[in-house]
Amino acid sequence: MSHDTQHQELIRISEIFGPTIQGEGALIGRPTVFVRTGGCDYRCSWCDTLYAVDSMHRADWTQMTPEQILQEVQHLSGGIPLTVSLSGGNPAIQPMQSLIELGNAAGYQFCLETQGSIAKDWFSKLNVLTLSPKPPSSGMETDWNTLKECVEAARSGPGQSPLIILKIVVFDEADYQYAQMAGRLFMDLPVYLQPGNHTPPPASETGKAAAEIDMQGILERMRWLVDRTVRDGWHSATVLPQLHTLLWGNLRGV
């Protein structure tokens, strides 16, 4: 497929917003613009972005070319390069290669977060690849072989090879055990543990009411997770909350 043809490929976009700070994982606190794609092959019980997942919201999604997306990113960021966060839904099911190449040429870097259910060669062109397999509380099942293929694709593809991390949401002890197992299976990947938000926004509501969270409950779960992790002597793990949730609740666009 020629470069030109790739540029014709359309990416299904739920929202593009920022700059704000990345609220999770390895780039926490770093200014970023979010490019959120629409559509997902998973349906996690506690999904906090159903508006980018459930096809009942597809009327709100837009088909955009890589050029159009980069133009919007450049507009929002005032043309000053930063790391773009590709999120979803599952952004791995969209044709992202041209966007990454175009962005790189303009000085932008890319991180992408996916559950690791689909491996793509272009993962290797990312700066950071966050693999976020879903624990038992999600109701989903992990295909560990495909997750391994994601790591291999990122390492052996045509790009410079990204930093690859595992990020696992933990709601309870079963999730914690799952995270430990994942850490053992992928011993060479840094593990980030993140307490879950048990008060995700309802898919059908917007505004102030939908933005409300159980702050005390979220902080309580974070304290438990810190305690659980250090009590185990799991000193290579990193434990971080969803910073944006603490700052802005479930509000969208920040």
Binding site listing for substrate: 21-23, 36, 87
Please state the closest distance from residue 197 (CB atom) to its own copies, in A: 15
- Which residues belong to the annotated binding site? 21-23, 36, 40, 44, 46-49, 87, 89, 132-134
- Which residues belong to the annotated binding site for [4Fe-4S] cluster? 40, 44, 47
- Complex with its own copies: residue 18 or 183, whichever CB lies closer: 18
Q: Is 28 exposed, middle or buried (0-12, 13-18, 19+ CB in 10 A)?
A: middle
Distance between CA atoms of residues 91 and 159, nearest Å:
18
Distance between CA atoms of residues 35 and 22, nearest Å:
12
Interface residues for its own copies in 121-180 (CB under 8 A)? none
Q: Which of 85, 140, 86, 87 has the alpha carbon at shortest distance from 117?
A: 140
- Complex with its own copies: residue 229 or 250, whichever CB lies closer: 229
Distance between CA atoms of residues 214 and 20, nearest Å:
22
Please state the closest distance from residue 238 (CB atom) to its own copies, in A: 4
Q: Which of 119, 138, 129 has the alpha carbon at shortest distance from 48?
A: 138
Q: Which stretch binds its own copies (CB under 8 A): 12-20, 87-95, 132-140, 165-173?
A: 12-20
Q: Is the peptide bond before 19 cis (omega within 30 degrees of 0)?
A: yes
The reply on whether position 82 binds its own copies by CB under 8 A is: yes
Interface residues for its own copies in 179-218 (CB under 8 A)? 192
Please state the closest distance from residue 52 (CB atom) to its own copies, in A: 22
Q: Which helix (H) or strand (E) holds 113?
A: strand 109-114
Kindly determine how many residues on this chain lie close enough to bind its own copies according to the rule CB under 8 A.
32
- Complex with its own copies: residue 90 or 245, whichever CB lies closer: 245
The reply on whether position 234 binds its own copies by CB under 8 A is: yes
- β-partners of residue 239 are 193
The reply on whether position 224 binds its own copies by CB under 8 A is: no
The reply on whether position 14 binds its own copies by CB under 8 A is: no
Distance between CA atoms of residues 195 and 218, nearest Å:
7
Q: Which of 202, 173, 192 has the alpha carbon at shortest distance from 56?
A: 202
- Complex with its own copies: residue 28 or 211, whichever CB lies closer: 28
Q: Is 62 exposed, middle or buried (0-12, 13-18, 19+ CB in 10 A)?
A: middle
Q: Which stretch binds its own copies (CB under 8 A): 95-103, 175-183, 200-208, 227-235?
A: 227-235
- Residues forming contacts to its own copies in the complex (CB under 8 A) are 18-21, 28-31, 77-78, 80-82, 192, 219, 222-223, 226, 229-230, 233-235, 237-241, 243, 246-248
